[in-house]
């Protein structure tokens, strides 16, 4: 019994020493990766957005306004959603934008997160989770019974 416990203890010491020696390199690589993602996120935030989501509920908020206020609300939403330009708003535009800005911001953050996750790449080659399951072929006369 004592031989086995000594062997396990020696193995654990060796394993811990290997982990400790690898940790600074792994940590440094991870820190570089995080820094690169933060730079890419900052670059993306300063660019013009090619699109933004304008929900039906946004339209419902302003559909009964007169033409002048309606156009002002649409213009303010587009300026903010496409060009990240925020101005001093008043009246109906201020009320409309107070509801729209948080939603546009949330959508932009979600878009950035998805884009950054896409930059990470997919599953490594050889990963069994990345393989697609092929459907068995069926017979022409009996599609419920596979041939192979």
- In this predicted model, what pLDDT tens digit does every residue of 70-122 receive, in sequence order? 999 999 999 999 888 889 999 999 999 999 999 998 888 888 788 777 777 77
Structure tokens belonging to residue 61:
């908020």
Residue 146 pairs with which residues in a beta bridge? 138
Predicted confidence at residue 50, as pLDDT, reads 83
- Give the C-alpha distances (Å, rounded to integers) separating 103 from 47, 88, 140: 19, 18, 52
Which one is predicted more confidently, 77 or 135? 77
Predicted confidence at residue 83, as pLDDT, reads 87
How crowded is residue 44: how many other Cβ atoms within 10 Å of its Cβ?
14
Predicted confidence at residue 31, as pLDDT, reads 81
Poorest-pLDDT segment among 11-15, 51-55, 111-115, 131-135? 11-15
pLDDT band at 8 (very low <50, low <70, confident <90, very high): very low
Strands (E) across 25-107 are located at none
Structure tokens belonging to residue 115:
């884009």
Strands (E) across the chain are located at none
Can you say whether the dihedral through the CA atoms of 10, 11, 15, 21 is positive or negative?
Answer: positive
How far apart are alpha carbons 115 and 47 in whole angstroms? 14
Predicted confidence at residue 5, as pLDDT, reads 43
Q: Is 15's pLDDT higher than 50?
A: no
Q: Is 68's pLDDT higher than 90?
A: yes
Give the whole-number percent of the chain exceeding pLDDT 70.
64
pLDDT band at 51 (very low <50, low <70, confident <90, very high): confident
Indicate the pTM of the whole model.
0.55
Predicted confidence at residue 113, as pLDDT, reads 80
From 82, 86, 130, 127, select the one nearest 108 (Cα to Cα).
Answer: 82
């Amino acid at each position: 019994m004592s031989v086995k416990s000594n062997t396990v203890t020696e193995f654990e010491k060796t394993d811990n020493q290997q982990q400790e020696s690898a940790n600074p390199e792994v940590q440094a690589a991870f820190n570089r990766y995080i820094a690169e993602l933060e730079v890419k996120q900052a670059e993306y935030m300063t660019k013009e957005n090619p699109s933004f989501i304008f929900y039906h509920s946004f339209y419902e908020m302003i559909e009964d306004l007169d033409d002048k206020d309606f156009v002002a609300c649409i213009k303010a939403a587009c300026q903010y959603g496409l060009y990240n330009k925020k101005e001093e708003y008043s009246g109906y535009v201020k009320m409309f934008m107070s509801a729209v800005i948080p939603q546009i911001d949330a959508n932009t953050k979600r878009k950035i997160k998805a884009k950054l996750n896409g930059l990470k790449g997919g599953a490594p080659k050889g990963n069994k989770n990345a393989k697609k399951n092929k459907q068995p072929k069926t017979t022409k006369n009996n599609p419920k019974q596979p041939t192979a």
